[in-house]
Amino acid sequence: MMETLEESQLCFPQLLNASCRKPKSPQTGAMLFCFLCFIALLTGALNLLVIISISHFRQLHTTTNLVLLSLAVSDFLVGLVVMPGEIILTETCWFLGDLMCAVYYLLPFIIICASAASMVLISIDRYVAICYPLQYPTKLTPKTVRICVCLCWIYSLFVSIILFYDHLKQPGRYNSCYGECVVNIAGDVDLVFNFIIPIFIIVSLYLRVFMVAVSQARAMRSHVTAATVQRSQTVTAKRSELKAARNLGVVVAVFLMCYCPYYCVSLVGGKIMIGSSAEALMSFLMYFNSCLNPVIYALFYPWFRKTIKLIVTLQVMQPGSCDANIL
């Protein structure tokens, strides 16, 4: 009877001495599981609204929104694929083999890396719009931005394969027993390409944007009383760009707050074993950023609130709805 009970607690009862034990759910496991599932569902639903909004309404087909669309796609995949996988993995044994374990962790890294690359593109977009407003329409055309977005995803795939190269070559090398899915990545490569380089570019560009924005704000205040009609239109355009920079700056700031805890451990010399509980907690904080981005859009972008209403009430199904005035 004792042997049967012990075998029932194993992932692979037939491998008595080599099998992992099934994860023990705490007393709060059911509530936590439901909460995490709700967050995953909310993340997917909110980002799907962003994707539909930018894709459907022609007024939103701008270069800046193309980058936001790339970010929304990666955030949607976080809610649809990454979060559910993370939740299920902490509750059950791994039965899909060592190679699939490596592939399973490869996908989140591609998506997260694409999110970081999209944030870099957002910073570049605001930098050009604020610092070189006259050249902005010619330097960042929709075609150029589409190419940059594609390159971001190719870059993410390339970097992620480098990170998991050793594990893809020899799957299961870090598993201590059967039924476990643990990988160890090239931490230095991850730290440099997914954190240090993107953060350096983002912070540098936004510092420059902030300095130019302050000088432009002073210039607008000093000339507002003597403004002609043409100059008034220029001032309005500048204010619009500055407001967009501020709103996207909030998105970038929240991104940094969610991502810093995970990478700061590596930055100070610590090591995180992929699949451990500490890694799961900090990873979920990163994933939660994907849920916060649409909330920020709802708070700062009136067009997103309008499109949500049109989508929820199914008015987007009507002919000509793509030409609706939402700005």
| Residue partners of 321: CB distance under 8 A and separation at least 6 | 56, 57, 310, 315
Write phi, then psi, for 50 (nearest 5 degrees): -65, -45
What is the model's pLDDT at position 14?
65
Sketch out the chain's domains with CATH numbers.
42-220+228-323 (1.20.1070.10)
What does the pLDDT profile of the chain (327 residues) look like in tens digits?
A: 444 544 556 776 666 666 777 666 554 457 777 888 888 899 999 999 999 999 999 989 888 899 999 999 999 998 888 888 777 766 677 777 777 777 787 888 888 889 889 988 988 988 888 888 888 888 888 899 999 999 999 999 988 888 877 777 777 676 677 777 777 766 677 778 888 888 888 888 888 887 777 776 666 666 554 444 444 444 444 566 666 667 777 887 888 888 887 777 666 655 555 555 566 677 778 888 888 888 888 888 888 889 989 998 888 888 888 888 887
Does the pTM of the predicted model rise above 0.75?
Answer: yes
Render 187-213 in DSSP notation, one character per residue.
HHHHHIIIIIHHHHHHHHHHHHHHHHH
* C-alpha closest to that of 291 among 119, 49, 85, 40: 40
Label residue 33 exposed, middle or buried (CB < 10 Å: 0-12, 13-18, 19+). Answer: middle
Count of helices and strands (H, E) across the chain:
13, 0
Give DSSP secondary structure letters for 81-123.
Answer: IIHHHHHHHHHS---S-HHHHHHHHHHHHHHHHHHHHHHHHHH
Name the 3-class secondary structure at 19. Answer: strand
For residue 96, the model assigns a pLDDT of 75
Q: How far, in Å, CA of 49 to CA of 309, rounded?
A: 10
Measured between alpha carbons, how far is 39 from 80 in angstroms, rounded to an integer? 11
Instruction: Give the per-residue pLDDT at 45.
Output: 93
pLDDT score for 229: 42
